[in-house]
């Protein structure tokens, strides 16, 4: 437009961040001079970043934004072409993918005569290939496999204690593969969280998510937050799936204490100076720890030289209130050579047993 315009983003009390408003502001400004139907604009949401060359670029959080537009009763949403597959996961709203501002105007019936721009590709670090790990890879740990199966069937939180090389991480990483597939609502919730985290989402994954933060992670990395806009932490990204804390006794006490409230309520609320954000946090917690700082306590072929006071301090890092929320405590030992190449129970059969157990429990409690 050839005159100055005042843009009002309402409500003024809510802080606005990010470049996802660029397209909507540009279309609104052009609508003051071009014959764009006001009725069409009222029924349409425009989401995307606008480059200096007029191309549309994807932004994080497309999926939850489209879900909010559908709940608000809008009929159509215009998004960057690179985010079209992600937006199309939301039912009940028409999704239009566009490559440039000129493309958007042409869809509103305006001959903008703007050269066609090449589409911007989605980020390459979006959806990774879904990793499938088989429970049959665990050999010689029949009791541990049975305990993990019970934990999966009941949704129980699990603590595994054992020396390095006993198979704690191997068991934990195979837990999502034996959990029941996510239903539509849970899969959409998990995908929305991935979108808010900045990952491109192209399909609804039915495999429960798995998060394994490093033991040096801070409380903010686990809980989430951010100085300007809220970003999900590891607890939120594990919602509907598994949160695995390897070397749990090495985590800071403040980090472990942050788990207590979401374990009880299934939600986590992040308070910052400029905003308050509430996220889902329904996850299954798996803790793994060594029996002592050196990990050799109880082994026949190794010597533990840790003082008793150091062992006591190490084991007390997992507080009583946290352990009260753990349903199953499992002790593992290293396994020597076994003749079997694979275990007797694979993930497919284990998942069927878990689904059957949960169905029987649901019928019993109904």
Q: Which residues contact 246 (CB under 8 A, 6 or more apart)?
A: 168, 169, 172, 212, 215, 288
- Helical (H) or strand (E) element with 151: helix 142-154
- Between CA 98 and CA 24 the distance in angstroms is 13
CA distances from 22 to 19, 54, 123, 189, 331 (A): 6, 11, 19, 26, 55
What radius of gyration, in Å, describes the C-alpha atoms of the chain? Answer: 25
pLDDT band, residue 126 (cuts 50/70/90):
very low
**Predicted pLDDT of residue 278:** 87
Nearest to 216 by CA among 242, 255, 167, 158: 255
- Bridge partners, 301 (sequence order): none
Q: Which residue has the higher pLDDT, 274 or 93?
A: 93
E strands, 189-254, in order: 210-211, 224-225, 231-232, 242-245
Please, are residues 23 and 49 in contact by the beta-carbon 8 Å criterion? Answer: yes
pLDDT band, residue 88 (cuts 50/70/90):
very high
Report cis status (omega within 30 of 0) of the bond before 99. Answer: no
Question: What does the domain layout of the chain look like in residue ranges?
Answer: 22-107, 135-365
Residue 55 is classified by DSSP as B
Q: Which residues contact 353 (CB under 8 A, 6 or more apart)?
A: 149, 153
**Predicted pLDDT of residue 110:** 81
Q: Which CATH number fits domain 135-365: 3.40.50.720, 3.20.20.70, 3.40.50.2300, 3.40.50.300?
A: 3.40.50.300
Nearest to 281 by CA among 176, 218, 177, 193: 193
Task: Answer whether 22-107 and 135-365 agree in fold.
Answer: no
Q: Which residues contact 311 (CB under 8 A, 6 or more apart)?
A: 291, 292, 293, 297
Nearest to 19 by CA among 227, 228, 194, 200: 228
Please, are residues 303 and 296 in contact by the beta-carbon 8 Å criterion? Answer: yes
- Between CA 117 and CA 152 the distance in angstroms is 50
Which ranges of 204-285 does DSSP label H, i.e. alpha helix? 219-223, 234-237, 253-257, 260-265
**Predicted pLDDT of residue 130:** 57
Is the pLDDT at 129 greater than 50? The verdict is no
Please, are residues 17 and 228 in contact by the beta-carbon 8 Å criterion? Answer: yes
- Select the highest-mean-pLDDT range: 30-39, 244-253, 268-277: 244-253
Tokens of 143: 């009791």
CA distances from 227 to 17, 195, 222, 271, 273 (A): 11, 19, 15, 11, 8
Is the pLDDT at 123 greater than 80? The verdict is no
Which ranges of 3-137 does DSSP label H, i.e. alpha helix? 22-30, 38-42, 62-71, 84-87, 101-107
- Between CA 225 and CA 219 the distance in angstroms is 10
Average pLDDT, the chain: 88
Cα distance from N-terminal residue to C-terminal residue, the chain: 63
Choice among 123-132, 169-178, 246-255, 299-308 with the minimum mean pLDDT: 123-132
pLDDT per residue over 33-66, tens digit each? 888 888 889 999 999 999 988 899 999 889 999 9
What phi, psi does 97 have (nearest 5°)?
-95, 135
Nearest to 356 by CA among 142, 146, 185, 154: 154
What average pLDDT does the segment 151-177 reach? 94
- Between CA 192 and CA 348 the distance in angstroms is 27
Nearest to 69 by CA among 47, 52, 49: 47
Is the pLDDT at 115 greater than 60? The verdict is no
Q: State the CATH class of domain 22-107.
A: alpha beta
Is the pLDDT at 153 greater than 90? The verdict is yes
**Predicted pLDDT of residue 119:** 55
**Predicted pLDDT of residue 340:** 66
């Amino acid at each position: 437009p050839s005159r100055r315009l005042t843009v009002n983003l309402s409500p003024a009390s809510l802080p606005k961040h990010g470049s996802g408003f660029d397209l909507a502001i540009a279309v609104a400004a052009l609508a003051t001079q071009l014959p764009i139907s006001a009725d069409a604009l009222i029924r349409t949401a425009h989401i995307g970043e606008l480059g200096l060359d007029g191309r549309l670029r994807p932004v994080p959080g497309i999926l939850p934004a489209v879900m909010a537009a559908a709940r608000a009763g809008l009929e159509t949403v215009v998004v960057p072409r690179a985010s079209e597959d992600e937006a199309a996961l939301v039912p009940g709203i028409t999704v239009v993918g566009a490559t440039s501002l000129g493309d958007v105007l042409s869809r509103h019936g305006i001959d903008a005569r703007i050269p066609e721009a090449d589409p911007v590709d989605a980020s390459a670090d979006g959806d990774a290939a879904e990793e499938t790990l088989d429970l049959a890879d665990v050999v010689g740990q029949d009791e541990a496999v049975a305990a993990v199966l019970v934990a999966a069937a009941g949704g129980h939180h699990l603590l595994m204690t054992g020396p390095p090389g006993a198979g704690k991480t191997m068991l934990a990483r195979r837990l999502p593969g034996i959990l029941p597939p996510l239903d539509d609502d849970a899969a959409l919730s998990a995908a929305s969280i991935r979108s808010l985290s900045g990952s491109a989402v192209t399909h609804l994954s039915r495999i429960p998510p798995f998060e394994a933060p490093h033991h040096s992670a801070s409380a903010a990395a686990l809980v989430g937050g951010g100085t300007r806009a809220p970003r999900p932490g590891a607890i939120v990204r594990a919602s509907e799936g598994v949160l695995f804390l390897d070397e749990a006794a090495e985590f800071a006490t403040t980090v472990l204490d942050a788990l207590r409230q979401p374990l009880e309520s299934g939600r986590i609320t992040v308070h910052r100076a400029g905003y308050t954000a509430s996220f889902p946090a329904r996850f299954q917690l798996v803790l793994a720890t060594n029996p002592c700082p050196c990990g050799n306590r109880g082994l026949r072929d190794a010597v533990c030289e840790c003082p008793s006071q150091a062992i006591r301090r190490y084991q007390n890092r997992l507080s009583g209130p946290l352990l009260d929320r753990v349903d199953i405590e499992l002790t593992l030992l290293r396994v020597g050579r076994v003749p079997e190449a694979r275990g007797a129970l694979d993930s497919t059969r284990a998942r069927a047993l878990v689904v059957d157990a949960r169905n029987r429990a649901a019928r019993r409690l109904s």
